[in-house]
Structure 1
Amino acid sequence: MLKSKLTLLFVLLLAKFAMAQDCDCKKNYQWMKKTFAENDAGFPEVLRKKGIDAYNYHSKSIENRVSKIRDYDDCKKALEDWLRFFRTDHFRLTKTKATLDKQHKAQLYSPISIANEIDLALFKDQVALLPTRSLVGLWETGGNTFAVQKINNHFVASLVEDSGTWKKGTILFSLGENLKEGTRYMSTYRPVPIEKVNYLDDNLLTVNELTLKRVFPESHLKSNEDEFFRLKNSGETFGYKRNEKTVYVRIPSFSFNKKAIDSLLTSLDDVIKSTPNLIIDLRDCQGGQDNNFAKLVPYLYSGATRTVLMEVLSTPRNNEIWNTLINNPDTDDEEKESYQAIQSLLNKHVGEFVNIYGKTVVEAKNGKVLPYPQNIGVIVHENNFSTTEQFLLLAKQSRKVKLFGRKTGGALDVSNMIEATSPMGDFVFEYCISRSLRIPEMEVDDMGIHPDFYLDKSIGEHKWVDFVSDRLNEWN
């Protein structure tokens, strides 16, 4: 048996703290806490809701914790835990290049490798003789192939050929045979717990954020499996006529993706306008800029829509962002004049929330209702935030549109992130400078936007597009 011939020896243990780290986490925390309290647009409302006592208790708990931390990753986690008192997303802490260089020189983590080099031909022969199909075999992700072996009641995936700094035999993950727990090794060899596993119809496997497809024993992917693997791995904006009644459009991001989106929609415009159903797949589309979805809006239009605007927190630090916009060489004279007027208004009201638009709602009611598409299904889930959720609030106002999937991540009420670098040079911290005039009556943050059709766990994610297509076809 293959299992009896293989033994697992983790030949290199974690070499954390091989060289000392010098992160002053307490100083980073104190700076971040002050910056957030003085400048983040979401801080005042949460403080009002939860109260000063809860805030002080939470802050004291984190301060005690950070006082003992010297590791940059542990510090980052502690700072993020403090921020989650306010919301689950729409903030970001990123290690600076200087920090990454320090960690690289310290060799914090070493690769974990299998004990015995794999004879690929022999391995394939052994796999071919197995009586039933399991995870054992060859799998591909990110252009690399990994051999999954059953070793000591774990499925262990190791690299088949050298790739960059990763050498043959380096372990990608070790997964318990119940497919519920294990360890995934990041590109830096840092171990993280496996929190989510899906084994989809023998040919696809998701492990945390990874999606792998089986390449041996050889298996031809069904069209929906191939489609799912492509959307999870390629980062492409793509689309096509999926069947006689349905056009499929995949948008992975609204962040600086306008050119690709507009190009795709231009190429498909005649097809979309002559086909009854349109599916817009937004899985893992985390946000970006509102103008990126502008070309989608005419297909959705079924009558007047209303968009509630926002107000901006004016502080000296926040108002500096307008200098960046004004001095950007891509800013034309008209935009520059507009930004200067906004900055002047904000500087007159430091410490206040300012409505820079002079109105609370924009109503659009001059669109044309297209005969096709008649039905539009938008696929969403928990990894949708920010601009993607703004698009959904607009789309939901159309009688043509239904949302399918799981509720979104909920990160929209406070928005427009800007960044600041800690004086220690360890982290770049991003926080929000605006808040929606929808709140508190219609909050999205931490609650998300719920789909019209919840796709439960019995429907594999690789089958979601088929489900939506079948449902839309029933309505024609």
Structure 2
Amino acid sequence: MKAPHPILLFWILFLNSLAIFAQNSCECASTLNIIIKKTEDNYAGFYDKVNPKTRPRYEALVDSLRAAAAGLEGDKNCFQLLKKYKKFFGDGHFQLYFNAPEVNIAVKKIDIDESTVKIYLDKNTSQLHPLEGIWEIADGSYRVALMRHPQHPTKIVAVVLSSQNKQWQLGMIKFEAQAQGNSPYKGIYWAGDLSSSERTFLLDNNLLNIPNSGYWIRRYPQEATPLEIAKSQAAEEDFSLKPIDNQTFYIRIPSFGVSYATVDSLLKTHDLTIRRSPYLIIDIRENGGGMNSSFPAILKYLNTHNFKDIHSHFRSTADNLLAEKAIIDRAIREEWISEKEAKPWQETLAKNQKQIGKMVKYAPENIKFKEVLPNPKKVAVLMNEHCYSSAEYFVYFAKQSKKVTLFGKNTGGMMDYGNVRNMPLPCPLFELRLPTTRTGWVDYAPIDNVGFQPDVRIPDNEKDWVKFVQNYWRLPN
């Protein structure tokens, strides 16, 4: 047999070495060790979470996970093991994702059509799972049948009946959730590009809220009410402002992922009306956060004696500094901020380069205004358990105002540690994102997994929160 040409032999060996490297880079024991090291070296909350009291439990967990990871096969099995490490820290900003190749349940099909689904639903009315039915996403771009999986009855799957996205065909599975227990349900959601992520599914009668993916509306066997449909549409709106009546102005903020300039511009359009309104309702329900810099423009209407920030600490490490530079460069490139606005950020980065290995203290940035506006006299902030991160920071400032009453439910409890940055891993199947800063209130009143409490708790059976506030204030509605 003729020996391969030397150049061909080189490429065979090179490609084989790449394949071996790719395989080894995703080997579970190796991946676990890298995630442990990245966490211990860079996570801003590590020394709070792993303290003299908890260290024995942490070390026992690490030892048991390393033993279990040795020789463990299957990427999904490895991800389940890695999640046990993540769970120890109890921090929603500590993020671990599984970027599985999308040759999975999303491209498998269940052979059904809408008429078949309706027959099934009508036949089994008394035995249906609370999730089962025909549903549409709020913007109408997907219609699915939520039903028990024929081969896996412990799973509820959303089978596509119609889609405006050409990548999604009849019978493909859009998302799946565990059937056991009550809402919220846990499961997996496949986005428009077929990428997958773990999600929580919150059922409220004929509405299904999938945070970061929007609301779904039940269409069969029972139809969502007009009030439920209005609620889903309101939740899908962007930043919106409107007078409710001649006394009350309403501001809806579904995300703080907008720039200060955008918020300020919108407020200026309605400024005169807001200043004439004795009552202001600010609705931040379902607000998953964004940028703290986006909300100071709103605070001028809440101001009674200015707003005190609290110090924080940045864990200055080589990885965190690289991640910080990457996000500054991206912010400029994608025009989130101007180069002028980025300059103080870049100067802070340069100072932190000289303090590697330290928790660098950031002084509080208090917010001051020249005046206290006569109107609004009373301000309601509507908040719920899906308010996270920067939304919670807004609540932290808002509760300092004598004008403000917090209505609703506890916030989600995810702001003790922030400024989450990507930590590159050799294995592309897994993604690790860690908080790099520590908020000063951790020293005296941490909120992780607790959240900020409302002043007035709104009952679970109350559907119209705005009307509830008006009745509380005894306003006409």
Please report the TM-score for the alignment, with normalisation by the length of structure 1: 0.76
Residue 49 to residue 256, structure 1, CA distance change in 2 (3 Å): farther
Identity value in percent: 24
Deviation sequence 1:232-282 (CA, Å, 0-9, x none): 3x2522232223432222111112454543343233222222122222111
Letter in 1 for 2:204: N
What SS does the aligned partner of 2:473 have?
Answer: helix
Q: 1:409 maps to which residue?
A: 412
Which of 266, 269, 284 is matched with 2:268 structurally?
266
Matches within 5 A, 1:248-267: 248-267=250-269
Deviation at 1:164, TM superposition (A): 2.9
Deviation at 1:183, TM superposition (A): 8.8
Q: 1:39 maps to which residue?
A: 42
The answer to whether the 8 Å contact 2:94/2:435 transfers is yes
The answer to whether residue 454 in structure 2 is matched with residue 454 in structure 1 is no
Matches within 5 A, 1:364-383: 364-383=367-386
Q: CA RMSD in A?
A: 4.1
Letter in 1 for 2:161: V
Matches within 5 A, 1:92-103: 92-95=95-98, 99-100=99-100, 103=101
Please give the alpha-carbon distance, in whole angstroms, between the structure 2 residues aligned to 1:155 and 1:351.
48
Residue 372 to residue 81, structure 1, CA distance change in 2 (3 Å): farther
Q: 2:11 maps to which residue?
A: none
Deviation sequence 1:106-149 (CA, Å, 0-9, x none): 4455535255x3449x969x98xx9xxx9987542141234578
The answer to whether the 8 Å contact 1:240/1:248 transfers is yes
The answer to whether the 8 Å contact 2:185/2:202 transfers is no
Q: 2:168 maps to which residue?
A: 166
The answer to whether residue 86 in structure 2 is matched with residue 83 in structure 1 is yes
The answer to whether the 8 Å contact 2:107/2:172 transfers is no
Deviation at 1:46, TM superposition (A): 1.7
The answer to whether the 8 Å contact 1:325/1:339 transfers is no
Residue 123 to residue 363, structure 1, CA distance change in 2 (3 Å): closer
Deviation sequence 1:59-79 (CA, Å, 0-9, x none): 223333434544444433432
Q: 2:8 maps to which residue?
A: none
Deviation sequence 1:22-74 (CA, Å, 0-9, x none): 84222121111101101111111222264321110122233334345444444
The answer to whether residue 342 in structure 2 is matched with residue 342 in structure 1 is no
Deviation at 1:374, TM superposition (A): 1.6
Matches within 5 A, 1:434-445: 434-445=437-448
Residue 160 to residue 284, structure 1, CA distance change in 2 (3 Å): same
Please give the alpha-carbon distance, in whole angstroms, between the structure 1 residues aligned to 2:342 and 2:187.
47
The answer to whether residue 462 in structure 2 is matched with residue 464 in structure 1 is no
Matches within 5 A, 1:275-314: 275-314=277-316
The answer to whether the 8 Å contact 1:322/1:339 transfers is no
Deviation sequence 1:191-242 (CA, Å, 0-9, x none): 989864321xxxx3226556333556897954x434311133x252223222
The answer to whether the 8 Å contact 1:245/1:473 transfers is no
Instruction: Out of 253-262 and 296-305, give the one that drifted further.
Output: 253-262
Please give the alpha-carbon distance, in whole angstroms, between the structure 2 residues aligned to 1:178 and 1:312.
40
Q: 1:351 maps to which residue?
A: 357
Q: 2:204 maps to which residue?
A: 198
Query: Where in structure 1 are there 5+ consecutive unaligned residues?
Result: 1-20
The answer to whether the 8 Å contact 1:252/1:283 transfers is yes
Please give the alpha-carbon distance, in whole angstroms, between the structure 2 residues aligned to 1:320 and 1:219.
51
Q: 1:12 maps to which residue?
A: none
Residue 176 to residue 335, structure 1, CA distance change in 2 (3 Å): closer
Letter in 2 for 1:466: K
The answer to whether residue 136 in structure 2 is matched with residue 140 in structure 1 is yes
Instruction: Out of 209-218 and 257-266, give the one that drifted further.
Output: 209-218
Please give the alpha-carbon distance, in whole angstroms, between the structure 2 residues aligned to 1:345 and 1:175.
48
Residue 389 to residue 182, structure 1, CA distance change in 2 (3 Å): closer
Count of residues in correspondence between the two structures: 433
Q: 1:245 maps to which residue?
A: 247
Please give the alpha-carbon distance, in whole angstroms, between the structure 1 residues aligned to 2:338 and 2:301.
30
Residue 226 to residue 246, structure 1, CA distance change in 2 (3 Å): farther
Q: 2:189 maps to which residue?
A: 186
Q: 1:113 maps to which residue?
A: 110
Q: 1:5 maps to which residue?
A: none
Q: 1:28 maps to which residue?
A: 31
Residue 349 to residue 245, structure 1, CA distance change in 2 (3 Å): same
Residue 235 to residue 36, structure 1, CA distance change in 2 (3 Å): farther
Residue 346 to residue 286, structure 1, CA distance change in 2 (3 Å): same
Letter in 1 for 2:143: T
Residue 280 to residue 68, structure 1, CA distance change in 2 (3 Å): farther
Q: 1:18 maps to which residue?
A: none
Residue 266 to residue 457, structure 1, CA distance change in 2 (3 Å): same
Query: Where in structure 2 are there 5+ consecutive unaligned residues?
Result: 1-22
The answer to whether the 8 Å contact 1:252/1:284 transfers is yes
Which of 205, 213, 231 is matched with 2:217 structurally?
213
Residue 268 to residue 192, structure 1, CA distance change in 2 (3 Å): same
What SS does the aligned partner of 2:251 have?
Answer: strand
The answer to whether the 8 Å contact 1:114/1:171 transfers is no
Residue 310 to residue 65, structure 1, CA distance change in 2 (3 Å): same
Q: 2:9 maps to which residue?
A: none
Residue 430 to residue 189, structure 1, CA distance change in 2 (3 Å): closer
The answer to whether the 8 Å contact 2:177/2:186 transfers is yes
Letter in 1 for 2:425: S
Residue 276 to residue 319, structure 1, CA distance change in 2 (3 Å): same
Deviation sequence 1:397-447 (CA, Å, 0-9, x none): 001111122211222222212212102333332112221223311212222
The answer to whether the 8 Å contact 2:97/2:197 transfers is no
Please give the alpha-carbon distance, in whole angstroms, between the structure 2 residues aligned to 1:191 and 1:428.
11
Please give the alpha-carbon distance, in whole angstroms, between the structure 2 residues aligned to 1:194 and 1:435.
26
Please give the alpha-carbon distance, in whole angstroms, between the structure 2 residues aligned to 1:470 and 1:34.
54
The answer to whether the 8 Å contact 2:296/2:367 transfers is no
What SS does the aligned partner of 1:31 have?
Answer: helix
Please give the alpha-carbon distance, in whole angstroms, between the structure 2 residues aligned to 1:206 and 1:184.
13
Please give the alpha-carbon distance, in whole angstroms, between the structure 1 residues aligned to 2:218 and 2:358.
56
